Structure 1
Amino acid sequence: MLLLLVGCMNKEEVMTIEEAAQEVITLLQNEEYQKVSESWFAEELQNSISVDDLAGDWEERTAGDEFIATRSFQTENRTESLDIVEATLEYTTTQFDVRMIFNQDRRLVGFHLSEGMMTVELPDSILEEEITVGEGTKYELEGLLTLPVEMDDTVPAVVLVHGSGPSDRDEAVFAYKPFRDIAWGLAEQGIAVIRYDKRTFTHADELIKDFGNRLTVFEETVEDAIRAAELAKADPRIDEERVFIVGHSLGGMLAPRIDVEGGGYAGLVILAGTPRPSWEVAYDQNRAAIQSQIKEEDEKEKQMKLAEEEYEKAKSLEEIGDEAAQDMTVFGMNGYYLKDMDKFDTRAWIDEMEKPILILQGEDDFQVYYDKDFTLWQELLSGKEQATLISYPGLNHSFVAYEGPHKGTLAEYKVPGQVDDKVIQDIGEWILKQEK
């Protein structure tokens, strides 16, 4: 007779590392957060992640959703005493990753949940092809061309241009992938879309080595958007006379310059962009953050003074030399970078503008402002028949609707959401009605 002494054995001796990880996941799915902490967290992890925090983080990603499946499950023996388990969990509307680090006693010394992402699949009516923007150059960028499956003739196309900072082809930020949403939605309307990884995302080290504090938006953004336009126009499936630029945030600010310096686009779509200098927007953002986040009056006054000092530095950029600008920062941005950006006169460009332009703005955007930036566009474009301006109540900087406790803060971007369908529909309809 074989006697199983399971009751006399410790879980460490019974369970493999995979079984231990699955046990933790199952307990979390059953909302047994206290048991997870007591039975599986090492003392240091119990001190750093409270039961309430664990429950809140888990439920923020799974509330109202039904578990579908574990899509991937990988283990890695990092050292003799540490094992790492990573799993991707799919729910009805979202998916997220769980990363667990077990010590030699089968206790968790590390536990992390990734930001949730909407669970979506490529629609059957569209397809995607791998592309390379700037192929053969020093700064090749991988990307995707999204196309409708059925095409009776050449189709119009758009090039998506990122906002500030390093960004992948989807312009992913926390739980959002706005460029993926826009690309799929426009392709379903019969419009080809090019999106690609930003140069600062793929070649950050090379750019620092090559340019240092002489880096400008031309090397960061403009040149690649021009190359993407050339790539689109060279594709026989695309109507080369109907290639448009769709720029988001910084990409929207730069869209006129990109067009003038070689993009040669048929028209411009500016999403949450501004005709104001970026340092002026940064000043407003800093003041708003200080007012909302700092409670102590002495500290608030101190930070306001620092913001005013940065603002004065920004206003001096036009007068100082290039070398001096290279050696200074303004609101965390290099002075030379900002000085170069300010050389393009958006107001003068508007005066001479003949191409069609579409300006879109979320009214709940707390990064680029409806009451300052959008209204300034309205003022500058007044009387321009080729200009269309639309604002959307309830939509934020990424044109996602959000109502909840994190409203007006970066934390709202951590709640899974997608670009509003009405925005994508409006972009598509506007493009399709532009004459060849």
Structure 2
Amino acid sequence: MSSILLKTAAAVVATYVGFSYTQAQTIEGSWNGKLDAGIAELSIVFNFSKGNDGKTQCTMDSPEQGAKGISVNVEYVSADSLAVAIPSIMARYSGSVTDGRIDGTFAQSGMNFKLVLSPGTVELKRPQTPKPPFPYPIEEVTFTNPEDGTVLSGTLTMPQMVLLGQRVPAVVMVTGSGQQNRDEEIFGHKPFYVIADMFARYGVATLRYDDRGVDRSTGNAAEATTMTNMHDAMAGIDFLHKDGRFGRIGMVGHSEGGTIAFMSASEYPDKLDFIVSMAGAAVRGDSIIVSQNRAALEYAGMPQADINSYCLLLDKVLEYRVEHGSILTDGTSVIDSLAESENVSLPVPALQNLSKVLTSPSPWMDQFLSLDPQKYIPNVKCPVLAINGSLDKQVDAKTNLGAIRRLLPKNEESVIKEYPSMNHLFQHCKSGDVAEYAAIEETMSYEVREEMAFWILRLKYSDGKKY
């Protein structure tokens, strides 16, 4: 789930900054550094060059987030100091040049972070990202959501045996919340690309696609809800059925995509032969958000009493938004009233942050808060593989897998499994915190990917025949 935590991490974008320091004090090239934003340590790169008018120009990259060429305004550059502004994220960096490095401060949202830059750019180590040549066919495709005409652009990756006319199982891959590309790229990792590569080698076809409004897909991402995303995913399922080259057809969803898999199997039982939920939520959206915030605050080292107070008030604020629906121009009075009624005392910045919950319009949030997967899971009749990492801090494994065990109808082919020492991305990890995602070179556990492929291939037709 790109989730609240990941959106927060993106908002506090840490940059590797790039430029070259010469004896003439010209600022050209790239400088990089690491920004510790609390929930994640991110790289930043500033790229400086001279324009045709002789003035210094700059762009910024955030390698772990796959962001390049972000527009930067150069406010001033001198022999010993500089200052730049990044309007798109409402941030600013200023520093002094000393001994071939830049000692400075990255400021955003009222917070200041020390950021030291060194000459050079950044190359992320992502050894699992597939590299050509590939021993299997790949097709670039498009399909349309008939609900609103949105055209989704994707990649169909198939086992070599498809070229010989052999029917194979196929899956549509559904990303988590937030706008993501077909690889579900995050912090330089490409989980869906890695899965698609292994599946094709093992005998399973995959269709992965850019979310609406991302890269080559059309559509208005700002207006999209979980239900909208489900219809997009089902358009992909329809595409695979019409293709004619595939046998059993299923859905593999990660985070919110896992929840969408349950919803789809419940609403369209005749179109899905199986589903895989990778860290899919099985409790209401407001519960997920409170749980995520609690984990983030614990990682940040906030005193437990303050965490309890914040999460208590957050729960009440989310309840208020669900009940009243409309977005306020100023949520201060409501927050103050709720805090007083709950006898909660919090620092002003914390109260201001809660106020944003009531003043930030989001069709996705409005639906997600009251979305209850437990209305759908009991209606799922097809085989289900539901998995979580034991250290998942975004979708708690015990809470959500427990709900799935309790609600999912019995099926001898269904499997519910918790993987030890793995996080929300199914990386082997130490703590499971979002801050680790970028630092871990592994994109996704080999074991998890292989077991998903084997589970799909072992499924039987209703007449007992395997693929």
Counterpart of 1:150 in structure 2 is 161
| 3-state DSSP of counterpart to 1:168 | coil
Counterpart of 1:197 in structure 2 is 210
| Change in CA separation of 1:262 and 1:351 when aligned onto 2, cut-off 3 Å | closer
Counterpart of 1:282 in structure 2 is 289
Equivalenced residues, count: 361
Instruction: Name whichever structure is richer in helix by fraction.
Output: 1
Are the aligned partners of 1:170 and 1:178 in contact in 2 as well (CA < 8 Å)? Answer: yes
Give the CA RMSD over aligned residues.
4.4
Structure 1 stretches lacking a partner, 5+ long:
1-21, 25-35, 54-59, 62-72, 90-94
Of residues 134, 139, 142, the one that matches 2:144 is 134
| Change in CA separation of 1:334 and 1:262 when aligned onto 2, cut-off 3 Å | farther
Instruction: Name whichever structure is richer in strand by fraction.
Output: 2
Counterpart of 2:259 in structure 1 is 253
Are the aligned partners of 1:283 and 1:311 in contact in 2 as well (CA < 8 Å)? Answer: yes
Of residues 216, 235, 249, the one that matches 2:243 is 235
Q: Percent identity?
A: 23
Tell me which amino acid in the other structure corresponds to 1:206: N
Counterpart of 2:179 in structure 1 is 166
* Residue 116 (1) aligns with residue 141 (2): no
Counterpart of 2:313 in structure 1 is 309
Counterpart of 2:460 in structure 1 is 435
Superposition map of 1:34-433 within 5 A = 77=51, 79-82=53-56, 113=121, 116-119=124-127, 120-122=130-132, 124-134=134-144, 138-151=149-162, 152=164, 153-201=166-214, 206-208=220-222, 211=223, 215-219=224-228, 221-239=229-247, 242-262=248-268, 264-295=271-302, 297=303, 304-315=308-319, 320=323, 324-327=324-327, 330=357, 337=364, 340-341=367-368, 346-381=373-408, 383-403=410-430, 407-415=431-439, 416-433=441-458
Deviation at 1:374, TM superposition (A): 2.2
Are the aligned partners of 1:168 and 1:198 in contact in 2 as well (CA < 8 Å)? Answer: yes
Are the aligned partners of 2:187 and 2:437 in contact in 1 as well (CA < 8 Å)? Answer: yes
Which segment drifts farther, 251-260 or 119-128? 119-128
Counterparts of 1:168 and 1:287, CA distance in 2: 28
Are the aligned partners of 1:252 and 1:274 in contact in 2 as well (CA < 8 Å)? Answer: yes
Deviation at 1:360, TM superposition (A): 1.1
Deviation at 1:302, TM superposition (A): 5.3
Write the deviation string for residues 7-41 of structure 1: whole angstroms up to 9, x where unpaired: xxxxxxxxxxxxxxx995xxxxxxxxxxx698868
Deviation at 1:380, TM superposition (A): 3.2
TM-score (norm 2): 0.64
| Change in CA separation of 1:98 and 1:342 when aligned onto 2, cut-off 3 Å | closer
Tell me which amino acid in the other structure corresponds to 2:432: G
TM-score (norm 1): 0.68
Tell me which amino acid in the other structure corresponds to 2:448: V
Write the deviation string for residues 135-159 of structure 1: whole angstroms up to 9, x where unpaired: 7964212210001223341111000
| Change in CA separation of 1:165 and 1:337 when aligned onto 2, cut-off 3 Å | closer
Tell me which amino acid in the other structure corresponds to 1:218: M
Counterparts of 2:425 and 2:372, CA distance in 1: 26
Structure exhibiting the larger radius of gyration computed from Cα positions = 1
